[in-house]
Structure 1
Amino acid sequence: MRLFYQQKVIGKKSRKLQKIPFSIDEPVTTLQDLLVQLVTQQVQQFNEKMVDTPLHLYLTDQQLDDATQYGKVHFGEKKNDSLQSVDQAMSNMLQAFQDELFLVLHNEESLDSLTTPLTIQEDDVFTFIKLTMLAGRIW
């Protein structure tokens, strides 16, 4: 089944959310089931990119011009070149959700619990909003 997800970080300048397609293979009955499948896919994609990184990195003139418009020129290399653990990523995701570091919306409806039952249809959209802490003192 094909679904979409969007990501938003509060405070970032990009206002338009881009729908990114992903598919689920196993039946999903709760939010936790969905998050487990999505995190597993993301870690696998990250680890595959690590293997496919070319040895000689270069930028074309067009890529250089595009990068200077955003104020950051880089070669796309990763600072951490080790493969990531799916289990560790799963643990981090569950802890972050319990600590309310991100919100999940299913077609604009907030999901507050990992055990929330889901009724998913083709082309549903899940939005992930990463919350940021405010700087300063409480009192």
Structure 2
Amino acid sequence: MRLFYQQKTIGKKSRKLQKIPFTIEGHVYTLKDLLTQLVTQEVQNYNEKALDTPLHIYITDQQLEEAVQHGKVHFGEKKNASVQSIDQAISTVLQAFEDELFLVLHNEEQLNSLTTPLTIQEDDVFTFIKLTMLAGRIW
């Protein structure tokens, strides 16, 4: 079944949310099941990209000239090429939801519990909103 997700970080200037398609396999009964499948797919995609990085990265004179014009010279390598643990990522996202570090909306309706039953249809949209903690002093 094809679904969409979109992300929003409060405080970012981008007003438009881009819908990103993803597919789920099998049955999804709760928000916990949905988050588990989504995180599993994202971590697998991340780990595959880490393995596809070439061993010898070089830069041509033309690329160097263009990079100097932009003010940043880099080789395009990832800073962290380690393979991530799917179980650890799932544990982290579930804990973050329980700690209310992000909100989940299912077609404009907020989901408040990991165990709430979901009724999902083709092309439904899930929105993830990362909450930012405010800090400051009172004088």
Is TM (by shorter chain) over 0.5? yes
User: What's the offset of the Cα at 1:78?
Assistant: 2.2
What is the letter of the counterpart of residue 88 of structure 1?
A: Q
Unaligned runs of 5+ in 1: none
User: What's the offset of the Cα at 1:32?
Assistant: 0.4
User: Equivalent residue for 2:20?
Assistant: 20
Name the larger-Rg structure.
Answer: 2
Mapped to 2, the partners of 1:72 and 1:112 lie a distance apart of 44
Quick check: 2:10–2:132 contact (8 Å CA) kept in 1? Answer: yes
User: Residues 94 and 74 (structure 1 numbering): CA distance in 2 closer, same or farther, change over 3 Å?
Assistant: farther
Mapped to 1, the partners of 2:72 and 2:118 lie a distance apart of 40
- Structure 2 SS opposite 1:79: coil
User: What's the offset of the Cα at 1:35?
Assistant: 0.3
Mapped to 2, the partners of 1:38 and 1:137 lie a distance apart of 38
Give the share of equivalent positions with the same residue, in percent: 76
What is the letter of the counterpart of residue 18 of structure 1?
A: Q
Mapped to 1, the partners of 2:36 and 2:138 lie a distance apart of 35
User: Equivalent residue for 2:57?
Assistant: 56
TM-score, normalized by length of structure 2? 0.85
Unaligned runs of 5+ in 2: none
User: What's the offset of the Cα at 1:136?
Assistant: 1.2
- Report how many residues are paired: 133
Mapped to 1, the partners of 2:28 and 2:2 lie a distance apart of 12
> Structure 1 residue 37 and structure 2 residue 37: aligned?
yes
User: Residues 124 and 75 (structure 1 numbering): CA distance in 2 closer, same or farther, change over 3 Å?
Assistant: farther
User: Residues 34 and 136 (structure 1 numbering): CA distance in 2 closer, same or farther, change over 3 Å?
Assistant: same
Mapped to 2, the partners of 1:73 and 1:101 lie a distance apart of 35
Mapped to 2, the partners of 1:34 and 1:109 lie a distance apart of 15
User: What's the offset of the Cα at 1:75?
Assistant: 5.2
- Structure 2 SS opposite 1:119: coil
User: What's the offset of the Cα at 1:30?
Assistant: 0.4
User: What's the offset of the Cα at 1:25?
Assistant: 0.5
User: What's the offset of the Cα at 1:77?
Assistant: 3.0
User: Residues 111 and 82 (structure 1 numbering): CA distance in 2 closer, same or farther, change over 3 Å?
Assistant: same
Mapped to 2, the partners of 1:33 and 1:138 lie a distance apart of 42
